[in-house]
Amino acid sequence: MFRMNRAMHKAIVQKGNVMTEEDARGRTPQNESDAGVVFANVTKSYGDREVLHSFNLSIGQGEMVCLLGPSGCGKSTALRCLAGFELISGGDITIGGRSITRQPPRKRGIGMVFQHYSLFPTMTVRDNVAFGLKVSRVGKDERNRRALKMLERVGLAEYADVFPNRLSGGQQQRVALARALVTNPRVLLLDEPLSALDAKIRVQLRDEIRLLQQQLGITAIFVTHDQEEALAVADRIAIMHDGAIEQIGRPQDLYEMPATAFVADFVGQSSVVETVVAADGTVRVCGQTLPLLVHLPAKTLVKVFIRPENVVFTESPDGECTVESASYLGSFTRTTAVADGVRITSQHAPGNNIDKGRKVHVSIRPEPVMAERIELRWAQDARTVKGDGDNGA
Amino acid sequence: MAGVNHAVAAVASDAAGNAEKEEYTTIQNGAWSRYDRPSLAARRIILALFFLLVALPVIGMLYFSFRSTDGGMTTSHWAELFSSAAPRALRMLNRGLGNSLAIVLVTIAIEYVVVIPTLVLLDVRFPRSRRWMRVLMLLPIAIPAIILVVGYAPVFSFIYQWISTSQWTLAFAYGIISLPFVYTTIEADLMGMNAATLTQAAESLGAGWLRTLWSVLLPGLRKSIVSCTLITAAISLGEFTIASLLNRETLQTDLIVISQSDVYLSVVVTLIILILTFVALFLVSGAGAQRRPGHGTGGRKRIPQGQEAAEVAEAAGSADVSDESRHA
């Protein structure tokens, strides 16, 4: 079972990469409505510092791809390169098979929603939405009609004659969305559109954005640092790290089969446990044998990432762990237990709580886990490894 | 990793803009709360002292303008001004005032046509220029006027020869010395309204730079353009050193000449100019205050509905119109 999982994982990870490169090379314009986006070996440097390293990404017509990563990973830069606000240093970007690298932002056929404060303060909501149509010389009646229709779609038609500063943050972002979509752009770019909003509005608006994107069938790129947001809205997620894509795939694949330790750590919550690879390529954590997603030689000191939903605590007086803390989070509870240096978290239904200080027995579902080699620096560490290795084997 | 974060943030223009904007909002939010500001009495004393300090010279001038040469009080100095047989000095002053007003108008025209659009484009297009612009823009203040004149002299000999010998050409010099004030005002407002993002939004919607400037940026800058106009007018009307050293006949140089022959008359005229200036200031700042806020924080504000909303919008619109007409 473990081998099959690893093979499957490898296949999925590779499929993502192969698809990207193939599309980058071989895409030709099929028809006018095709608005797939391809980044082919795009680099971007500021002076001698490269912030995007041969960035390859292919997005199909009507697909929503999230660029997810910590701040400073280059996800916003990639989006701004596509929008034309940054000039790329190398490579090519195409929309619908045509290169837009040399085109100014206004000719690229994009609609963009910014983080916040992007509505024109001196125009009413209606004029804001109609601005793009006015620029492209649509008649006054026509553009007011279309602006109002788009405002209806985002549920703000009654605010058409109000100035933006009278709207709440969520309403302002809805107007920004309407403004970006009213011109029928080929690609919708969303640059952390929800990060300035309250948690509740954030969830609501993100679902609305996704629904609208699917209804209109528009190609979209959504930049975010919030993994929950990305998992909820994206067709595919590209995890970015240090100016390159670490892994791209469907949300579920990323979560269940992370290609690298960075992805495993970044997507979802994990308990990080230090342990040693046994002779058969598995690891032992809290007395359980767990298969690994990657192949590592025996006796390697590793960090493994264990998902809290795979951990079950059962209260027992001779349990090997002690409950350290429990946080009630509404629909579930997260309990953390410790045992000689290992700290492990379980996520479970809120009903069966275990009080702080109780002894628990840990069982971990034997799903394959991601592991990362720990580089040794000190002799002290080497000695510890030896001891642990003996225990593990 | 942290290094990369930091470096990216430092370079990416929008990030820089955001950081600065955050600073701006903190300053706004960090204003004195009602619990730790000075007491009411203390505030009143401070305010009274301030007004006293400002008013003292004016009161002194007013008192002086009613003094007669023999030590008693008289209204003859004021009467002289309005008498039908206006002295020669007054006719001279008329000319000086005319010249000064022409200079003010040309300076403001230069401001509107050249300076403001240039500063806006520079700030939005090359946000990194702010670093050296801030230093550069201090130079007209940092360099004493007397040294500026040394530099201006050859420039103006060229202007006399090729453009015009009229008095209004002094506006070229005043356009430069008012730059620091114009730049600071415009730059602060651009930052406050998040001009970089607005420009990108307009661009992504298909607008070229001219339309972005005209329909997005300049309308948002109305308030600071009004204050720029005021400052420029004040500088152009009040400047003496350069005008005098370049042998120009403006209000200020003529006032000095008059004060040498009739000191009472010069004080009376100065007082009148002061009063007119105050009136003008109140009118313009009153017009500015009526305007709806330029940019919102998106906070929880009362949202007008239906009919009410239309009224609000209409009121805001008509206020704008009246501002513009008054301004024009």
pLDDT tens digits, residue range B131-140?
Answer: 898 899 889 8
CB contact under 8 A, A76 and B14: yes
Residue A38: strand pairing partners = A58, A94
Domain hosting residue A357, numbered range? 270-384
Cβ-based neighbour number of residue B22 at 10 Å: 10
Q: Which residues of A touch B318 (CB under 8 A)?
A: none
| Arithmetic mean of pLDDT, B147-174 | 86
Same domain assignment for residues A199 and A99:
yes
CB neighbour list of residue B49: distance below 8 Å, 6 or more residues apart? none
CB contact under 8 A, B204 and A162: no
CB contact under 8 A, B292 and A124: no
Q: Who among B14, B294, B305 is closest to A121 (CB)?
A: B294
Min distance B204 CA to chain A CA atoms (Å): 5
Same domain assignment for residues A240 and A298:
no
Residue A289: strand pairing partners = A284
Same domain assignment for residues A308 and A251:
no
Triad B292, B294, B296: Cα angle to 5°:
100
Identify which of B112, B175, B168 has the alpha carbon closest to the alpha carbon of residue B148: B175
Given a cut of 80, whether residue B67 has pLDDT beyond it is yes
Q: Which residues of B touch A165 (CB under 8 A)?
A: 292-293, 295-298, 301
| Arithmetic mean of pLDDT, B196-211 | 92
Residue A163 domain flag: no
Please tell me the predicted confidence (pLDDT) of residue B261: 82
Given a cut of 70, whether residue A194 has pLDDT beyond it is yes
Same domain assignment for residues A231 and A276:
no
CB contact under 8 A, A164 and B296: yes
CB contact under 8 A, A132 and B216: no
Please tell me the predicted confidence (pLDDT) of residue B14: 40
**Contacts with A, B 98-117, CB within 8 Å:** none
Report the mean per-residue pLDDT for chain B: 77
Residue A114 domain flag: no
Q: Who among B9, B11, B304 is closest to A166 (CB)?
A: B304
> In this structure, what token pair is assigned to residue B273?
């100019």
Q: Which residues of A touch B313 (CB under 8 A)?
A: 124, 161-163
| Arithmetic mean of pLDDT, A298-320 | 87
> In this structure, what token pair is assigned to residue B9?
């943030």
Q: Which residues of A touch B207 (CB under 8 A)?
A: 106, 131, 135
CA–CA gap between residue B243 and residue B253 (Å, rounded): 7
Q: Where are the alpha helices (DSSP H) in A41-85?
A: 75-83
pLDDT tens digits, residue range B253-309?
Answer: 888 888 888 888 888 888 888 888 888 778 877 765 554 444 443 333 344 444 444
Cβ-based neighbour number of residue A153 at 10 Å: 19
CB-neighbour burial class of residue B97 (10 A; exposed 0-12, middle 13-18, buried 19+):
middle
Q: Please name the residue that has the structure tokens 């339309």.
A: B211
Question: Do A224 and A192 form a contact (C-beta atoms < 8 A)?
Answer: yes
Identify which of B290, B296, B279 has the alpha carbon closest to the alpha carbon of residue B320: B290
Half-sphere exposure of A302 (CA within 13 A, CB side): 29
CB contact under 8 A, A71 and B219: no
Q: Is B193 on the interface with A (CB under 8 A)?
A: yes
ipTM score of the complex? 0.78
Residue A128 domain flag: no
CA–CA gap between residue A209 and residue B314 (Å, rounded): 32
Same domain assignment for residues A246 and A286:
no
Cβ-based neighbour number of residue A278 at 10 Å: 16
Q: Please name the residue that has the structure tokens 């000190």.
A: A378
Question: Do A255 and A231 form a contact (C-beta atoms < 8 A)?
Answer: yes
Residue A115 domain flag: no
Residue A244 domain flag: yes
Identify which of A178, A156, A171 has the alpha carbon closest to the alpha carbon of residue B298: A171
Q: Where are the alpha helices (DSSP H) in chain B?
A: 2-11, 13-29, 40-65, 76-82, 88-110, 116-125, 130-136, 139-142, 145-162, 170-177, 179-192, 195-204, 209-211, 218-220, 222-238, 241-245, 251-261, 263-290, 306-327
Q: Who among B11, B21, B207 is closest to A46 (CB)?
A: B11
Q: Who among A72, A108, A189 is closest to B4 (CB)?
A: A72
Given a cut of 70, whether residue B29 has pLDDT beyond it is no
Nearest chain B residue to A108, by CA: B204
| Arithmetic mean of pLDDT, A353-369 | 86
CA–CA gap between residue A220 and residue A379 (Å, rounded): 51
Min distance A135 CA to chain B CA atoms (Å): 6
CB contact under 8 A, A106 and B8: no
Last residue of a domain, one of A256, A285, A304: A256
Q: Where are the alpha helices (DSSP H) in A107-249?
A: 125-135, 140-153, 169-181, 199-216, 227-233
Over its C-alpha atoms, chain B yields an Rg (Å, rounded) of 24
Q: Is A274 on the interface with B (CB under 8 A)?
A: no
Question: Which 3 state secondary structure label does DSSP give B328?
Answer: coil
Q: Residue A54: what are its φ and ψ, rounded to 5°?
A: 25, 75
Domain count, chain A: 2
CA–CA gap between residue A193 and residue A216 (Å, rounded): 19
Beta strand ranges found along chain A (DSSP E): 37-46, 49-59, 64-68, 90-95, 98-99, 110-113, 187-191, 219-224, 236-241, 244-249, 271-276, 282-285, 288-291, 301-306, 311-315, 321-328, 333-339, 342-348, 359-364, 370-373
Best of A120, A133, A156, A181 to disrupt the B interface (most B CBs within 10 Å) is A120
Residue A337 domain flag: yes
Question: Do B188 and B224 form a contact (C-beta atoms < 8 A)?
Answer: yes
Q: Where are the alpha helices (DSSP H) in B163-213?
A: 170-177, 179-192, 195-204, 209-211
Min distance A118 CA to chain B CA atoms (Å): 5
Min distance B312 CA to chain A CA atoms (Å): 8
Same domain assignment for residues A212 and A285:
no
Cβ-based neighbour number of residue B95 at 10 Å: 14
Q: Is B28 on the interface with A (CB under 8 A)?
A: no
The DSSP call for residue A356 is T
Min distance B282 CA to chain A CA atoms (Å): 24
Among left, alpha and beta (phi > 0; psi -120 to 50; other), residue A269 is: beta
Same domain assignment for residues A324 and A191:
no
Q: Who among B208, B222, B302 is closest to A106 (CB)?
A: B208
Q: Is B198 on the interface with A (CB under 8 A)?
A: yes
Residue A276 domain flag: yes
Whether the full predicted model's pTM is greater than 0.90, yes or no, is: no
Q: Minimum mean pLDDT among A227-241, A307-321, B2-16, B78-92: which range? A: B2-16
Please tell me the predicted confidence (pLDDT) of residue B12: 39
Half-sphere exposure of A115 (CA within 13 A, CB side): 16
Q: Please name the residue that has the structure tokens 């806020």.
A: B293
Residue A291 domain flag: yes
Q: Please name the residue that has the structure tokens 């986006």.
A: A37
Sheet of A98-99: strand order equals: A49-59, A37-46, A90-95, A98-99
- Return the number of CB contacts < 8 Å for A and B: 149
CB neighbour list of residue A65: distance below 8 Å, 6 or more residues apart? A57, A59, A220, A221, A222, A234, A235, A236, A237, A238, A248
Min distance A193 CA to chain B CA atoms (Å): 13
Same domain assignment for residues A195 and A81:
yes
CA–CA gap between residue A254 and residue A12 (Å, rounded): 10
Given a cut of 90, whether residue B7 has pLDDT beyond it is no
Instruction: Identify the CATH number of the domain in which residue A314 sits.
Output: 2.40.50.140
Same domain assignment for residues A276 and A252:
no
Instruction: Identify the CATH number of the domain in which residue A196 sits.
Output: 3.40.50.300
Q: Residue A185: what are its φ and ψ, rounded to 5°?
A: -70, 160
Same domain assignment for residues A98 and A211:
yes
CA–CA gap between residue B255 and residue B289 (Å, rounded): 34
Which domains can be identified in chain B, with CATH numbers?
2-17+84-292+300-311 (1.10.3720.10)
> In this structure, what token pair is assigned to residue A223?
């930049």
Q: Is B269 on the interface with A (CB under 8 A)?
A: no
At B315, the pLDDT band (50, 70, 90 cuts) reads: very low
At B145, the pLDDT band (50, 70, 90 cuts) reads: confident
Q: Which residues of A touch B206 (CB under 8 A)?
A: 106-107, 132, 135-136, 183
CB contact under 8 A, B206 and A135: yes
Question: Which 3 state secondary structure label does DSSP give A349?
Answer: coil
| Arithmetic mean of pLDDT, A117-146 | 93
> In this structure, what token pair is assigned to residue B14?
């929008």
pLDDT tens digits, residue range A331-352?
Answer: 888 888 888 778 888 888 877 7
CA–CA gap between residue A41 and residue B14 (Å, rounded): 24
pLDDT tens digits, residue range A243-293?
Answer: 999 999 999 988 888 888 899 888 888 888 888 898 888 888 888 888 888
Please tell me the predicted confidence (pLDDT) of residue B312: 39
Please tell me the predicted confidence (pLDDT) of residue A215: 92
Same domain assignment for residues A58 and A19:
yes
Same domain assignment for residues A199 and A51:
yes
CB contact under 8 A, A117 and B206: no
Q: Residue type at A31?
A: N
Last residue of a domain, one of A234, A256, A278: A256
